[in-house]
Amino acid sequence: MPRGARLALIAVAIAAAFVAVVLPLFSSSGAPQAEIAGQLPLTVAAGQQVRADIAVDNVGDSIINPVCVAMSGTGATLIGANFQGLDQVTARSNRVCGGQLTGQETISVTLVFTLTVPGSAQVSLVPQQGATVIGPVFTQPVGVT
């Protein structure tokens, strides 16, 4: 094989390897997927504002914009949240949204909420992109005194 043909073949192989390795790093395709991790307080006083630190983890490769967390539970009212210590957001309809998540990124979110019905409340948090659910429900019982 002539020397020019070998060099051309090597150049094509290097270019193909580069595209195969680097191009997926910039990919934002696929359905967004996220998970919520953390710990809610075990007991809270009824009607008092409570702060809870959670993490929202983008477990997919696509960009999630906006990142939202929805809360549900008996007597649960989400007041607001602080995303990464930067964005202070007021909740609307028991949901807060702030910022974006790139692929495989994790952010911290401090939720502020109240529980008003004494007893035991099953509090659920759901990761969303806008109004679309993009991950499993995080549920934890919380005692309300």
Identify whether residues 24 and 49 lie together within a single domain.
Answer: no
C-alpha separations of 131 from 25, 78, 94, 128, 134 in Å: 27, 16, 12, 6, 9
How large is the greatest C-alpha to C-alpha distance in the chain, in angstroms? 84
Per-residue model confidence (pLDDT) at position 13: 75
Whole-angstrom Cα distance, residue 61 to residue 69? 19
Output the pTM of the full model. 0.78
Q: What is the mean pLDDT of residues 70-74?
A: 96
Q: What percentage of the chain carries pLDDT values higher than 70?
A: 91
Confidence band (pLDDT; 50, 70, 90) for 21? low
Identify whether residues 8 and 62 lie together within a single domain.
Answer: no
Q: What is the mean pLDDT of residues 16-39?
A: 74
Identify whether residues 60 and 113 lie together within a single domain.
Answer: yes
Identify whether residues 61 and 21 lie together within a single domain.
Answer: no
- Least reliable range by pLDDT among 1-5, 19-23, 55-59, 128-132: 19-23
The residue count for the chain? 145
Per-residue model confidence (pLDDT) at position 15: 77
Identify whether residues 60 and 90 lie together within a single domain.
Answer: yes
Domains in the chain, number? 2
Q: What is the mean pLDDT of residues 67-95?
A: 95
Give the number of other CB atoms < 10 A from CB of residue 8: 11
- Nearest Cα neighbor of 111 from 74, 145, 72 is 72
pLDDT digits (tens, 9 = 90+) for 109-131: 999 999 999 999 999 999 999 99
Per-residue model confidence (pLDDT) at position 86: 86
* Both tokens assigned to 143: 């005692």
Q: DSSP secondary structure string, 67-108?
A: EEEEEESTTEEEEEEEETTTEEEE-BTTEEE-S-B-TT-EEE
The domain in which residue 68 lies consists of: 34-144
Return the residue matching tokens 């007041």.
79
Identify whether residues 78 and 49 lie together within a single domain.
Answer: yes
